[in-house]
Amino acid sequence: MNRDPHARETGDRRWISPLIAAGVALAIAPTFAMTDEIGRWTIALGIATNLPCAVLGCYLVLRRMSLLGDAISHAVLPGIALGFLIGVRFAGEGQARLGGPGVVVGAMAVGMLTAFLTHALSRLGKVPEDASMGVVFTSLFAIGVILITRAARDVDLDPGCVLYGLIEMEALDTVQVLGVEVPRSLGSLGLAGVLTAGFVGLLWKELKLVSFDPGLATAVGINAAVVHYALMAMVAGATVAAFEAVGSILVVAMLIVPAATAHLLTDRLGRMMLVASGVAVLSAGYGYLGAVRLNTSVAGMMSVVAGLLFAAAVVLGPRHGLLGKLLRTLGLSLRIVREDLLARLYRAEESNAAPVASGHGGPIAALAGWQLRRRGLIETGRDAPGLTAAGRHEAGRLVRAHRLWESYLSANFDLPADHLHEPAERVEHYLGPALVDDLSTELDRPTSDPHGRSIPPGEPGRS
Amino acid sequence: MLTYNTLIVLIGTGLLGANAGLVGSFAVLRRRALTGDALAHAALPGLCAAFLIAGRRSMPALLAGALVSGVLGVVIISGLRRATRVKEDAAIGIVLSVFYGLGIVLSRIVQDTEGVGNKAGLDSYILGKTAGIIAQDVLLIGGVSLVSLLAIVLLYKEFVITAFDPDFGRVQGWPVLRLDLVLMGLIALAVVFGLPMVGVVLMAALLILPGASARFWTDRLGPLLVIATAFGLTIGLAGTALSARYAGMPAGPVIVLVGSALFLLSVLFAPRRGVLGRAIREWRFRRDLEERRMLRLLYERTEPSLPTIVPFHPVDDLHARSDRERARTDRLLARLTSRGELRLEPGGGYLLTEAGLGRAAAATRGHRLWERFLHAYPEQATVEADLGRASVDDVLMPEIVAELEDHLRAAGRLPGDDAGGSRR
């Protein structure tokens, strides 16, 4: 009987996370099965690329800093280009790579610098924050592109690859590890993943607090600024690690889209990271498969798949999805129309007027009528529907709520008599039995409403 | 010197830059700068699709495709913002990256159908390449720029209101939403037509840089728009000329860097709002404050014995805490002397001259009025008080000033031009 005090009412149960993990594992398995060894390594590389970005991206999305992630991923380019040029100079053409330890450190510095410059520019120059971010990262990116273009002249490199990566090539560049041919980048990507996991794990509480309430964090003694810049540095690091595989623009996709998708599906941070990781993994696998099928860019397909998963979450998400909202709204409308119909018939009976066959109302009214008939609350009479005994009982409950509310308004507010019906018409649908009992008690169990009509009695045993 | 082709290209890019600068200023004002970025990225799939359908050289078709998918992206962004719990920045980032990914996917497919040689055509839209602009394109660009200009001129007041105070506009009954859509449409046109020039990735810069730079040179919207347009024109021309010199360089980054250089110059050297100008003004203000403080000190020294002026010996009367402070004081006194406000006596003391006495009296009066104001109306301190001003005269209403003066006069503390503070 001891319910977890942190679990909320709707569906937050302990088995959900393992279920998600199992589901993702199950869903990704076919992709591994449907391709060859190179394909499997490429998918593994994709997963290794996307995971750290997705996890770190959760913080960015929650703090509404998605575009700062965008900015950083662009701004690291000059650092990478410089590292690349230096690499070419020292290590020779064949050895030149876009990633490397010095470059990573340099890129992390640039990442922090971007955040700092944006802030400084917007304060110093009184430029709006988004415009100053735009100026800083596009300038840095322009420098980077120029450097890369120069580098590309010395090396046979397509400058466009900085934008969309070379993951197709990465799987071929292998190293012998324990007798198995492993792609070289998996090392640096794996390291990035481990570092990210370590960072997030060790600073879990601090990051959480700084993300949701930096003021409280500072008051409690956590230096919010330090944590913030550390996060920016990690984002820059993950960006650089992912760069070789997916290029700069698509890192943005992996930073934002999985986290945003997860945000639509859950309200808890841990589970959000799990779902984001799931999206990252699935994008890697199915993105690769799709790219092979259509013979196109793997990185591009990965972000498209991520986008499709996001779209699915937007429409089908259980709590926040559009479809769910539509159905809930429809359900509510139907309930209201049903209750109004019953109440109208009741009032017609009361005043012995001939019940008006309601031809108007459209499809919802028709559906409501059909539902009432099915539940045995109304029956189709000779010209028009009439209440059954059960229907009369239901209607009476509603009219009781309506008239009690009118009495309540009349007793507590200085409203003219003809102003009581309208609000009661609206509120009556939301007065549950407990509230109706309270009203009746408070008003001293009245038997007639301000218009002189009798209030239907409540259940025996209730007031 | 200038070949026909070069001229065409220069005119084209100049117009594009000018248009982007003009429309972009509104984007910056409306905090829509990064929506322009998203528009540019979202245009890519449409571009590629049009490429597949209509073929390479049909610029109107390409741009129509870019416009459609770009606008679709923006519509999705605002749809997400309104119908889901996705926040604006995330929505922009999602549309930007997913559409771009789709664009890359389609561009590879295009490559395969058209052959690798034609990849260059599409790449030019990603990083920009101005050399391909022909006379027809210039006419099109010119037409679009003219439309933008006309729209802004005709709807100037409306745009101003929606930029600065949309709620007021709504209350006044203006169709704020529709005006916003018109503005977004103009931005979309500017973006789509700017694409061949700077490419998808750097388009945002072309929208932001001219307006942001112009902001440093003026505080009023009209002049800002004019300056931004001029800057855009300059950036377009200079950037294109430079990138033509270095043949292998994509045009986009060069143009953007020219813009950034211009921006940096504005940040540093614009007279009133630039860093240098502000530093100079601050320095001057501090000097003036120093002088006033010193004069006030001298006045208070000699006030009891007015109209006789008492000499002032800095070594005895001032307790300098360090050599540096003493040196500063000496410099200050020398400055005042050279301006004729102090006179050095043979005995080593300083005497206030007539001019000096006048200025010292004014400084003291100003200071005491501020003191009295803060004493009498403390609750207005944060709203009304501008303690940087030498006196309350320009800040407060004359009645209040008179009241404060009366109070000082009654206490014998209102500096006049003779003993005891007679009526001024």
pLDDT tens for A200-218 read 999 898 889 888 888 888 8
DSSP letter at B312 equals B
Nearest to B112 among A65, A69, A295 (CB): A295
The reported pLDDT for the residue numbered A9 is: 46
Q: Name the closest residue on chain A to residue B27, using Cα atoms.
A: A131
> What integer best gives the mean pLDDT of chain A?
82
Mean pLDDT computed over B80-102: 90
**Is B96's CB within 8 Å of A252's CB?**
yes
Residues of chain B with Cβ-Cβ distance to A121 below 8 Å are 267
Chain A to chain B Cβ contacts (< 8 Å): 195
Are residues A264 and A317 in contact, defined by beta-carbon separation less than 8 angstroms?
yes
Contacts of B288 (CB under 8 A, 6+ apart): B390
- The answer to whether residue A457 scores a pLDDT higher than 60 is yes
Mean pLDDT computed over B347-368: 86
Smallest CA–CA separation between B90 and chain A, in Å?
A: 5
Smallest CA–CA separation between B97 and chain A, in Å?
A: 5
ipTM: 0.81
The pLDDT confidence band at residue B121, using thresholds 50, 70 and 90, is low
The reported pLDDT for the residue numbered A189 is: 82
What count of other Cβ atoms lies within 10 Å of the Cβ of residue A463? 15
Are residues B227 and B25 in contact, defined by beta-carbon separation less than 8 angstroms?
no
Percent helix, percent strand, percent coil in chain B, to nearest 5: 75, 0, 20
The reported pLDDT for the residue numbered B12 is: 84
- The answer to whether residue A73 scores a pLDDT higher than 50 is yes
Q: Is A383 exposed, middle or buried (0-12, 13-18, 19+ CB in 10 A)?
A: exposed
Query: What is the distance of C-alpha B381 from the center of its chain?
Result: 29
The reported pLDDT for the residue numbered A96 is: 47
**What is the per-residue pLDDT across A107-158, written as a single tens digit (0 to 9) for each?**
777 778 888 888 888 777 677 777 888 888 888 888 888 887 777 666 655 6
pLDDT > 70 fraction of chain A, expressed in percent and rounded: 84
**Is A249's CB within 8 Å of B98's CB?**
no
Structure tokens, A186: 């998996």
The reported pLDDT for the residue numbered B117 is: 46
Q: For chain A, how big is the Rg over CA atoms in Å?
A: 32
E strand or H helix at B154: helix B135-154
**Is B215's CB within 8 Å of A127's CB?**
yes
**Is B98's CB within 8 Å of A255's CB?**
no
DSSP letter at B192 equals H
Residue of A430, A436, A442 lying closest to A456 (CA atoms):
A436
- The answer to whether residue A98 scores a pLDDT higher than 60 is no
**Is B205's CB within 8 Å of A256's CB?**
no
**What is the per-residue pLDDT across A264-274, written as a single tens digit (0 to 9) for each?**
998 889 999 99
- The answer to whether residue A418 scores a pLDDT higher than 50 is yes
Report the residue of B28, B86, B97 to disrupt the A interface, i.e. the one with the largest count of A CBs within 10 Å.
B97
Nearest to A139 among B85, B89, B256 (CB): B256
Distance between CA atoms of residues A397 and A362, nearest Å: 26
Distance between CA atoms of residues B80 and B86, nearest Å: 6
- The answer to whether residue B134 scores a pLDDT higher than 90 is no
Residue whose structure tokens are 């505080």: B219
Q: Name the closest residue on chain A to residue B109, using Cα atoms.
A: A296
User: How is A248-260 classified by DSSP, letter by letter?
Assistant: HHHHHHHHHHHHH
The reported pLDDT for the residue numbered B421 is: 40
The reported pLDDT for the residue numbered B132 is: 67
**Is A149's CB within 8 Å of B248's CB?**
yes
The reported pLDDT for the residue numbered B217 is: 92
Residues of chain B with Cβ-Cβ distance to A286 below 8 Å are none
E strand or H helix at B351: strand B350-352
Q: Secondary structure of A145-208 in the HEC alphabet?
A: HHHHHHHHHHCCCCCCHHHHCCHHHHCCCEEEECCEEEECHHHHHHHHHHHHHHHHHHCHHHHH
Q: Name the closest residue on chain B to residue A248, using Cα atoms.
A: B97
The reported pLDDT for the residue numbered B306 is: 78
- The answer to whether residue B417 scores a pLDDT higher than 50 is no
Smallest CA–CA separation between A96 and chain B, in Å?
A: 21
Helix (H/G/I), strand (E/B), else coil: A323:
helix
**What is the per-residue pLDDT across A221-250, written as a single tens digit (0 to 9) for each?**
888 888 888 888 888 888 888 876 777 767
- The answer to whether residue A441 scores a pLDDT higher than 60 is yes
The pLDDT confidence band at residue A383, using thresholds 50, 70 and 90, is low
Residue whose structure tokens are 């200085």: A414
The reported pLDDT for the residue numbered A282 is: 94
Q: Which of A37-46, B27-36, B57-66, B206-215 shows the highest mean pLDDT?
A: B206-215
Nearest to B202 among A61, A142, A306 (CB): A142
Nearest to A138 among B85, B109, B204 (CB): B204
Nearest to A256 among B97, B104, B257 (CB): B97
Name the least confident of A163-177, B197-211, B298-312, B392-406.
Answer: A163-177
Mean pLDDT computed over A319-343: 89
- Greater confidence (A97 vs B389) lies with B389
**What is the per-residue pLDDT across B314-343, written as a single tens digit (0 to 9) for each?**
777 676 677 788 888 888 888 888 888 888
Structure tokens, A55: 């996890």
Nearest to A145 among B105, B253, B273 (CB): B253
Report the residue of B39, B87, B89 to disrupt the A interface, i.e. the one with the largest count of A CBs within 10 Å.
B89
Hey, what amino acid is at A427? V
Query: What is the distance of C-alpha A72 from the center of its chain?
Result: 22
Alpha-carbon distances of A345 from A88, A108, A338, A342, A395, rounded to whole Å: 86, 72, 11, 5, 8
Residues of chain B with Cβ-Cβ distance to A322 below 8 Å are 83-84
Residues of chain A with Cβ-Cβ distance to B28 below 8 Å are 127-128, 131
The reported pLDDT for the residue numbered A290 is: 92
Are residues B46 and B176 in contact, defined by beta-carbon separation less than 8 angstroms?
no
Are residues A408 and A442 in contact, defined by beta-carbon separation less than 8 angstroms?
yes
